[in-house]
Amino acid sequence: MTTEPILNQQILSHLEELLGDSYHLVLETYISSSQTLIENLDEAMKSNDLILLSQYAHPLKSSSLQIGAVTLSECAAQIENPAKESDLKSMQELVSYCQTLHGQVISELRNILQEDCQ
């Protein structure tokens, strides 16, 4: 577990500065696409498919890092590139941790979007 913030505010600020009016659209797109990836990770885990786990973890890792969800990105990276001695139980724990982190990220992103609309 980590004590880092769920979202890196420096990355988010830079993203907002870079994207301008498209910033909110990018956050909304992340919310919907990452939800699909999390669901796909869960399905791949249920079918014990480590190849699919890796394939779904890669875009989750990349997109999460782009919006400042560094800890979630790091968790997805561990799923994408599991150690040789990884077993299914440890992979399940990583997937569960990613699901928890994802829920926190989505909650914070929705708060940002709601605050910016007021």
Whole-number pLDDT of residue 38: 98
3: in domain: no
Whole-number pLDDT of residue 81: 84
59: in domain: yes
72: in domain: yes
Q: What is the pLDDT of residues 74-93, one digit of tens each?
A: 999 999 987 555 678 889 99
How many domains in the chain?
1
- Which residue range(s) make up the domain with 36? 9-117
Q: Using the predicted structure, report yes or no on whether residue 108 has a pLDDT greater than 70.
A: yes
The secondary structure of the chain, three-state, reads CCCCCCCCHHHHHHHHHHHHHHHHHHHHHHHHHHHHHHHHHHHHHHCCCHHHHHHHHHHHHHHHHHCCCHHHHHHHHHHHCCCCCCCHHHHHHHHHHHHHHHHHHHHHHHHHHHHHHC
Q: What is the pLDDT of residues 51-62, one digit of tens each?
A: 899 999 999 999
4: in domain: no
Q: Which CATH number is 92's domain given?
A: 1.20.120
